[in-house]
Structure 1
Amino acid sequence: MKQNNVEEITQYIQALEPDRKQAFEKLRNLCVENLPQGFEEGFTYNMLAYFVPKSMYPAGYHCDSSLPLPFINIASQKNFIALYHMGLYANEDIKNWFETEYPKHSKYKLDMGKSCIRFKKMDDIPYTLIAELLTKFTVESWITTYESNFRNTK
């Protein structure tokens, strides 16, 4: 996996509190190990980002075409670590699968927005489930899903 903005990523992680740092690094490693080939790692919107590079999808993100097509972001927020997974927002089947599986992997209630999964308990992040979620989209299937949901493809 190609890495961009490595210095910013390193600084971001180093600034985290120890309990957050360990969980954040584990989520990062899951992304590096489980995302299908073609996604790249970088730092956008002040978050760790995994995206489709402009070389593979020149149109970029519809909200800002100068940016590559986002897929996953990880951020340390005030009260939680957030994993933003655009596939959950764009694909109802994947979202339903995740919501059904989550209680099998965590003793806590799922705290989720449209694409955001919030983890307040660092010791109860369902890493196995997240690893499986990361494999649900290839670059190609994400582009197809993105275009059918967010791009006006005339």
Structure 2
Amino acid sequence: MVIPLFVGREKSIQALDVAMRTDKRIMLVAQKQADVDDPKGDDLYRIATVATILQLLKLPDGTVKVLVEGVDRARIEKLHAGEYYSADATLLPDAESYDEKELDVLARSVISQFEQYVKLNKKVPPEVLTALAGIEQAGRLADTVAAHMSLKLAEKQK
């Protein structure tokens, strides 16, 4: 999934600069409370998204617009605070414990239910349904559906 982000915190901008100089990969982690200006370890969720930076644009006001694509899910084991945050993390494998036929049935069911949701919720663009049809991994399908649902962040983290 590709999304644009606007980044303004100095530590976050530093992390982007380091990522751009190395492998263009960065870990995205959500805060529990958005109004905390300088989050510490307890202010962050432990499940994160490893993303590849596709494009970075420094804006005149000092913020940065970055286009990222989620690649993997990871669990933060230890957070390191310095000029920017870094972390020791473990990549989480996709939970693919079903056979292929069962996954196909579940995927069709999820897409069908989500189609009904899109019809009722005018905030989700219909093009999302077209994108879902091209997703083959169950985990990525679940992530995409969750990203477009009107859920609280704590629920999306589950």
TM-score (norm. length: structure 2): 0.29
Q: Which has the higher helix share?
A: 1
Higher Rg of the two aligned structures: 2
More strand by share: 2
Relative contact order, CA 8 A, sep 6+: which one is greater?
1
